[in-house]
Amino acid sequence: MTLNLSKKIVYPSLQARKEKEYLEEQFKTRLPYTIDKEYIPKDAHEFYIDFGPLIHPRTGQEVKRLTKYQYDIWNCPAKTVLVDKSQKTGITTSELIHDFQEVILNGRGKDLLIVGQTEKAAIEHLYTLKRLIIDSPKYRKYLITKSSELFFREEQTKAGTLFIKNPDNPFRPMRIIGLAFIVSALWSWKNVFRIHMSDPAAAQVVDDSQIYAALTSRLTNTDGRMMIEGPPRGPFGRFYELYEQFKDNKNPNFKVFLVTIYDALKEGLVTQQ
């Protein structure tokens, strides 16, 4: 028997092996997490109790029940809800919890936008929601905090985006994204099922009609819903125009709520002082 020594054995370089291992790790089929099917309440109060109570900032006590107007706003079936409110009425916080409920119930595999008057305000809303989710014994497992729980390493909860686990498809997580109230920040989002605008009248924008149009167009493909809540700022701007146009509540797809500080006082949320 004669050995053929003319052929050289070519070994892959260390760099090539590392690249191959990296690609295999990135793209191999694997389930990064599993969440067993469980009951998620649709009713506002039932979900609030299931999620876990808020702590009142003044008394330090658990809030066993939200106000009637918070539940009415939360349970409203209209496609667009506008809340003309006083500050410190609790609506932003309850609607953040509502946002999370909508994501895990109706927005699986889609995006939810939280739009603040500035990017800093939007990120603060995300931080509030992140803390609320972490404080929830049942629902904290939905918040993705490590890249190992996702298919791509860059997908993990950070300042401007919350990644939420999708029980139906671990490879298509939900995102809650914080954005500023400017047109350039809103054009590119294609898979949005819900938008929560907070304090839009407080934004330093002279003509905000284009911003509202850009946000509304984001919901076209998904037939999504919009929440607009904040204090008024005078008889001008799109917030004022929408309030005047729909305040009679004759359009079933557009519901207007008016919540004053006296409503919060009546519900015991604030004191007279």
Output the tens digit of pLDDT for each of the chain's 273 residues. Answer: 555 555 555 556 777 777 777 666 655 556 667 888 899 999 999 999 999 999 888 888 999 999 999 999 999 999 999 999 999 999 999 999 999 999 999 999 999 999 999 999 999 999 999 999 999 999 999 998 876 655 555 554 456 899 999 999 888 999 999 999 999 888 889 999 999 999 999 998 888 999 999 999 999 889 999 999 999 988 999 999 999 999 999 999 999 999 999 999 999 888 888
CB count, 10 Å around CB of 251? 13
Residues 100-104: contacts with CB under 8 Å, at least 24 apart: 100/51, 100/129, 100/132, 100/133, 100/139, 100/164, 100/176, 101/40, 101/47, 101/51, 102/193, 102/194, 102/225, 103/164, 103/174, 103/176, 103/194, 104/40, 104/139, 104/142, 104/164, 104/167, 104/174
Q: Report the distance separating Cα 159 and Cα 173, nearest Å.
A: 17
Strand partners, 143: 164
Q: Report the distance separating Cα 273 and Cα 261, nearest Å.
A: 12
Which pLDDT score is estimated for 260?
96
Four-point Cα dihedral 101, 113, 109, 96, nearest 10 = -10
Which pLDDT score is estimated for 271?
86
Reduce the DSSP state of residue 143 to 3 states and report it. strand
Closest CA to 159 of 129, 195, 204, 200: 129
Which pLDDT score is estimated for 11?
58
Which pLDDT score is estimated for 114?
97
What is the pTM for the complete model shown? 0.85
Strand partners, 198: 229
Which pLDDT score is estimated for 125?
97
